[in-house]
Amino acid sequence: MDEQPDRRRRLADAAISTLAREGMRGLTHRAVDRAAGVPEGSTSYYFRTRQALLRAAVERLAELDTVEELPEPAGRPDVAAIADAAAGLVELWATTARDRMLARYELALEANRRPELRAVYDTVGARYRRLAAGMLTALGATDPQRQAVLLVACLDGLLFDRLAGAGGAPGRAETAAVLRGLLESFLPDLKE
C-alpha cells in the first residue's frame, strides 16, 4: 500500500493548522513536522520548497473547502430555506472549520504575490460562482451570473466578519435574514 498520498495529505493538513495558528510567518517545514507529529525533515522530504508546501496547502484547502453542505432543493427552491442553509454554512465555516478559513485568508493574500497559487484560487472561486449561479437560476433570479458574484462576495464578507471583525458579528439568525433580503432582491418583482 502506498503511504505517500496519505502522508502528503496529513502534512498539508498540518500546514493548514499551522497557518491558522501561527500565520504565514510561522509556516516552516519544521513547524509542520511538529504539528503533524512526524520526524523532523519529513515535510521537506515531501515538499522540498516553501512554495511546494504553500501549493500543497492551497490545493488541500480547495479539496476540503466545499459548499456541498447546502441541500439540493426539491422542486422550486425556497428563499428562506436557502438563506438559512447558507447561514448555517457560514456558521460551520466560522466554528468547526475555523482553522481552514483562517488559513484560507492567509493563503489568499499570499496568492496575490504568487501566480501559481492565484490560479488555484481562481479555479475555486469560479466553482463557487457557478454553484451560486445555478441556485439563483433555479430561484428565478433576474441576472444569475452577475448576482452570483454578489452572493459569493456577501458570504465571504459575512464569514470574514465572523472571523476577524471588530465584534458584534451577526449570529446565524441575523445572517440568514441578511441573506434572505439579498436573495429576495435578486428576484423579479412579483407584484401586479
pLDDT at 71 over 70: no
pLDDT given for residue 165 in this prediction: 77
d(C-alpha 143, C-alpha 87), whole Å:
22
Residue 128's closest CA among 50, 66, 80, 79?
A: 66
Q: Look-up: residue for cell 509556516?
A: 27
pLDDT at 191 over 50: no
- Residue boundaries of the structural domains of the chain: 4-62, 65-185
User: What's the half-sphere exposure (Cβ side, CA atoms, 13 Å) at 167?
Assistant: 0
Full-model pTM: 0.85
The CATH architecture annotation of domain 65-185 reads: Orthogonal Bundle (1.10)
- Position 51, amino acid: Q
pLDDT at 192 over 60: no
Question: What pLDDT digit, counting tens, does each position of 23-65 carry?
Answer: 999 999 999 999 999 999 999 999 999 999 999 999 898 888 7
The CATH architecture annotation of domain 4-62 reads: Orthogonal Bundle (1.10)
Q: Look-up: residue for cell 436557502?
A: 82
